[in-house]
Amino acid sequence: MGGTARRNDEGVIIRILNDTILVMTTRRVPALLPIFRSRQQLKIFAHLLINAGREFTVPELVRVTQVSQPTVWREIDRLKKAALVTVKSIGRSKVIKANEESLYFPELRSLAMKLLGPAVILGERLEVLEGVEEAYIFGSWARRYEGELGPPPADIDVLIVGNTDPDDAEDVFNGLQELLGVEVNSVMVSRSDWKATRSGFLREVKKGPLVRVVEKVA
């Protein structure tokens, strides 16, 4: 990374790069609010926040987040110690949910909805539609998700692979637009077209970042 950088006595690094000011810290994340320490923790905690009121087992969180079981347990333990989630035993299983009594809950849920809401909610709603084999978010939202700097996305671009009823898909997208307050644009392609990638549009889509929201096992 180029540019100029300065470090102060508090362990804060201020780096100027291409007229952009980046503020970083060399100190540990405060234990008072140990959130969003990593992409894995973001996926786990955001999923619980977005689905507030719903209980998940660890195997369920592993499946929906694609994070390893040891990592899920480790991050849940950190969040529990900070009273951000609750964990209770039911038989031989433990169930976890976001702690809605936490002082930070309203703001954290709002932030989670903006950061990962589209991916989580789209995945849950598209997964149950008949004919949907795969689904991806692409475009500006996917680029921000992968860490590319830029303004907040004004819309969400979704690509569906398969053969589903367009009216059913439109109902999903309309509901999501009301929930997230942004326009949702959708494209549907067949499995053969997605594999062949004959069109220039699909080649461009595949060149950019893709956030998978549905992948059904045949």
Q: pLDDT tens, 136-151?
A: 999 998 998 887 888 8
What's the rounded Cα separation, in Å, for the pair 164 and 147? 31
Q: Give the pLDDT band (50/70/90) at residue 192.
A: very high
Contact 79, 102 (CB under 8 A): no
Which residue in the block uniquely carries the two structure tokens 């079981």? 69
Tokens for 34, please give them. 């140990």
> How far is it, in rounded angstroms, from Cα 119 to Cα 3?
34
Average pLDDT, the chain: 81
Predicted TM-score (pTM) of this structure: 0.65
Query: Largest alpha-carbon pair distance within the chain?
Result: 60
The candidate with the shortest Cα–Cα distance to 98, out of 108, 166, 90, is 108
174 vs 164, higher pLDDT = 164
Mean per-residue pLDDT, 185-207: 92
The tens digit of pLDDT for each residue in 65-80 reads 889 999 999 999 999 9
CB 159 within 8 A of CB 135: yes
116-215 to CATH, choices 3.30.460.10, 2.60.40.10, 1.10.3210.10, 3.10.20.30 = 3.30.460.10
Contact 126, 169 (CB under 8 A): yes
For strands 155-162 and 183-189, give the pairing: parallel
Indicate the pairing of strand 93-98 with strand 56-57.
antiparallel
Q: Which of 23-27, 81-85, 87-91, 176-180 has the lowest mean pLDDT?
A: 23-27
Q: Where are the domains of the chain?
A: 1-30, 39-113, 116-215
> Could you tell me the fold of the domain covering 39-113?
Arc Repressor Mutant, subunit A (1.10.10)
Residue 12 has pLDDT above 60, yes or no: no
